[in-house]
Structure 1
Amino acid sequence: MGSLSQNDLKITIKSISLVYPPPMLGRRRSMFLSNIDQLFNFDIETVHFFSTVESFPPSTVCDTVERALQKLLVPYDFLAGRLRLDPITGRLEIDCNGAGAGFVVASSERTLEEVGDLTYPTPAFKYLVPTRSSTGLEDWPLMAIQVTSFKCGGFAMGISNNHATFDGATFKTFLDNLASLSTTGGALSTHPCNDRRLLSARSPPQVTSPHPELTNNNMDSIFDPSIDTAIETKLFHLTPSDITLLKQKAKSPHVTSFNAVTAHVWRCHAAAATTAKTSTTLLYMIDLRLRHPALPKSYAGCGVWGAHAAATPEELVEGQFYRVAEMVREGTERVTEEYVRSVVDELEIGKGEALMSGDLLVTSWWRLGLEMVEYPWGSPLYCCPIVDRRRGVAVFLPDVRGSDGGGGGVNILIALSRDEVERFEKMFYEFLE
């Protein structure tokens, strides 16, 4: 399963088109992007697999999704726009010009059964999402959807969107709205809040906290787009019992399941490192809507930030687990409303030069609930991001199946060198004892 390629999937592109907002929309505007939006200016790709439903063959799904997407381009008008630089300020913004969202129809000669284990993201999944054909700001849609039918009648819906348009939470809201409008007579389940100025910098900017999660060195950025062919990815699994054990080892009712699992992965990552370091830094994305009162739950921009924790490798590997878990919890608590305002102001001063940096980045799709979106043709069999081989990135994925068939655990996909993967695997299980 892990070696599937484009040829293995035998995909044929049937059509490529643009979906435009309804003509009556007729208003063009420029959308302000927050400093956090601008930092996350790269594409996120996800694939959503669906089983065969006789009443919804792939051709019907294509028509339904295309119509629903057109309706969504009214409340989400920016998705039909294009990125551009303001000619006066040089600041990145979205020109809501109605240029359209991408829509691709494709087919595969394979069945879903032949694709194999859907819970293990592979590079082949990349061919199930629209392929970027341009690097120009004003030439590529901010969102594109590809519906790929399989020989068995099942299908995949691959979505590519610029991260500046959504974070994980509001992507889930977008999918809920897409599902709702795909239903006859359906209406929006949630109206998006599109005001990105809610995360504007203060005037003048006031940096009130140190921000070690930022760097001005592009080589140290976790957003380095290069892919290292010497890096391998491997999937690890924690059962609900494993997670309970880690929480018990944390010895604190305030340590969440996410804190405990993140601490375990950070510890294993430090033990697996082949390069000696005096300190190792962890970054993990958290939702700012829970910490910044100005942001409503429906805020449709990038309302996330990387909490951080730092320790020596000795503290992580030889120290007590409860202390590692506590460091992760403390990192989350550090991100207060004032801390967020300080980050935004730091980015304002840096004028786009500051980037996130860290030795290990944890990004969680574990509890976003993408697999629970209820479309007219049912919920997905599985959803996952398209992941590349970038060293030091760990992705938490939902376990919808589980070793006992019941799910409830978490799958962890991590990218490391071959030697590091072997050591990581060894410590992953030893630290659970």
Structure 2
Amino acid sequence: MGTTCLESPPILQDPRVTILETSMVFPSKETEKRSLFLSNIDKVLNFEVETVHFFGANEDFPPAKVAKMFKNALEEALVVYDFLGGRLNLNPETKRLEIDCNGKGAGFVVASSEYKLSEIGDLVYPNPAFAQFVQKSKDFVQQNDQPLCVAQLTSFKCGGFAIGFTTSHTTFDGLSFKTFLDNLAALAANKPLAVIPCHDRHLLAARSPPRVSFPHPELIKLDKLPTGSTESGVFEATNEELNFKVFQLTSHNILSLKEKAKGSTNARATGFNVITAHLWRCKALSAPYDPSRSSIILYAMDIRPRLKPPLPKSFAGNAVLTAYAIAKCEELEKEEFSRLVEMVTEGAKRMSDEYARSMIDWGEVHSGFPHGEVLVSSWWRLGFEEVEYPWGKPKYCCPVVYHRKDIILVFPPFGGSSGDDDGINIIVALPPKEMDKFENLFYMFLN
């Protein structure tokens, strides 16, 4: 059971999508006009997330029927998630970004492709052409009106379809978006909500006065950037030419990494931590080599269970912070793998209630953002592909490819688990020369 790197398959450059209908969707009943407080975590994530969810043909649910059901469900959802039909607003008094819950609505698009779903290529492979399955929300129907959510249903010639979402990251993190999808699916089936969301984002407000009780090398102040720097953190897109590749690890590979991670101790390492350590080493050493250069890896951590008291699992907002590990390139090259895993594990353990509160308070005191060489973002166990819609579960869910070389995405395999194998897909984007080196290191360090 070796690892594989998916060779770039023949990519459909143009799925020939035609927009059939563009409209706004409004809450099914009147909602209260209010301002929604955004935490310091929310406001850093002021960019859009685009995801596509592919569905096979179901003769009981042709795309036209699904479009109607889906639109109705979205109208109901905008009552429960009133902020999703609102607009971002800078409060003139507090100078804080907030959401004006004003019922202006979400966008809805119906489209069609000239191809069958089977003809658009390997769904696992990141294809920039999938951008046609989502709708950019800027100036959606009216000029200068930017909805926080736009959904697009694109039908294929075979009866299959794709549902694409463009949402502002200020509205959801991955876990709360999964809950939103579960609720949307329940509403489409005329069932009660799967989960009652918790909208109290003051639970993640900074303390008064703020208390930054730890050094935070994983965060950088805007005024600390070099003069003339265009850097804006790991979330920023790059203009460089990038190659995209999908690397696969089987459950056997992950087990082997766990064995290597034991070193002289029998400490148990998690699958995520060994994968993260492996990717860190490959990414750091694929860049031009400087043994004394420090490399910081960031990895997203759900803080809901780590706070005191814990946040409700139903918290609808961003409750994810970046844990970190730091090492010089020389260490990453020569240290035992078990030591690298220890560093990643220590970073995860560091994320206590006090540490998380310190990070939030840092955002109250400083203008800045997460800063590191690479961010590992795991969609591995979010479960988007497990959402049970009336028309069935998705065949696959993926983000639209974005031009960021410093984010590595970890995904479940196509169709969920294959038999008993619960391996993973890893999407990497790097300049061509760095990609070649990354690929060589990826397999070398597995042996």
| Length-normalised TM-score, structure 2 | 0.92
- 1:295 deviates by 1.3
2:23 counterpart (14, 17, 22): 17
**Equivalence for 1:221:** 232
8 Å contact from structure 1 (residues 239, 402) kept in 2 = no
Q: Contact 2:109/2:151 (CA < 8 Å) preserved in 1?
A: yes
Q: Partner residue of 2:444? A: 430
1:234 corresponds, among 242, 245, 267, to 245
State the AA in 2 paired with 1:291: R
Find the counterpart in structure 1 of residue 296 from structure 2: 281
Q: How many residues in Structure 1 have an aligned counterpart in Structure 2?
A: 427
Distance 1:82 1:403 in 2: 39
Would the aligned equivalents of 2:55 and 2:396 in 1 still touch at CA under 8 Å? yes
* Counterparts of 1:174 and 1:402, CA distance in 2: 20
Equivalent position SS for 1:73: helix
Show CA shifts across 1:37-81 (max 9, x none). 001111111000000000000001100110001111111000000
Over the aligned positions, Cα root-mean-square deviation in angstroms equals 1.9
Q: Deviations over 1:19-38 (max 9, x none)?
A: 1012333x200000001100
Shift of 1:306: 0.6
**Which of 201, 205, 218 is 2:206 aligned to?**
201
Superimposed CA distance per residue, residues 366-424 of structure 1 (whole angstroms, 9 cap, x where no aligned partner): 11010011111110000011121212221001113589766510111111111111111
- Sequence identity, in percent? 50
> Which residue type is aligned with residue 51 of structure 2?
T
Q: Is the 8 A contact 1:232 1:389 kept in 2?
A: no
| Greater mean alpha carbon deviation, residues 95-104 or residues 128-137 | 128-137
Q: Distance in 1 between matches of 2:162 and 2:286?
A: 36
Residue matched to 1:390: 404
Once residues 24 and 424 of structure 1 are traced to their aligned partners in structure 2, the CA distance between those partners, rounded to angstroms, is 53
Judging changes above 3 Å, is the alpha-carbon distance between structure 1 residues 248 and 137 closer, same or farther for their aligned structure 2 residues? farther
Equivalent residue of 2:115, what SS? coil
The one-letter amino acid of 1:11's match is: V
Say which SS state the counterpart of residue 172 (structure 2) adopts.
coil
Work out whether 1:4 is the aligned partner of 2:12.
yes
Query: Does 2:370 correspond to 1:356?
Result: yes
State whether residues 231 and 417 of structure 1, in contact with CA within 8 Å, keep that contact through their aligned partners in structure 2: yes
Report what 2:169 is aligned to: 163
Q: Is 2:40 aligned against 1:35?
A: yes
Whole-angstrom CA distance in 2 between matches of 1:90 and 1:105: 37
Answer yes or no: is the 8 Å Cα contact 2:107–2:137 preserved in 1: no
Pair 1:104-2:109 in alignment: yes
The one-letter code sitting in structure 2 at the alignment partner of 1:186 is K
Partner of 2:353: 337
Matched, 1:326 2:342: yes
Q: State the alpha-carbon separation in 2 of the partners of residues 392 and 143 from structure 1.
A: 26
Aligned equivalents of 1:159, 1:2: Cα separation in 2: 25
Structure 1 pair 344/403, CA: closer, same or farther in 2 (3 Å)? Answer: closer
Does structure 1 conserve the Cα–Cα contact (< 8 Å) formed by 2:300 and 2:322? yes
1:421 pairs, out of 435, 440, 445, with 435
SS in 2 for 1:296: coil
Are the aligned partners of 2:410 and 2:424 in contact in 1 as well (CA < 8 Å)? yes
Q: Per the alignment, in what secondary structure is the counterpart of residue 422 of structure 1? A: helix
User: 1:62–1:105: 8 Å Cα contact kept in structure 2?
Assistant: yes
- Consecutive unaligned residues in structure 2, runs of 5 or more: 1-8
Q: Distance in 2 between matches of 1:432 and 1:23?
A: 56
Q: Deviation of residue 230 (structure 1)?
A: 1.6
Q: Equivalent residue for 1:270?
A: 284
Matched, 1:178 2:184: yes
The whole-number CA distance in structure 1 between the counterparts of 2:176 and 2:128 is 25
Gaps of 5+ in 1: none
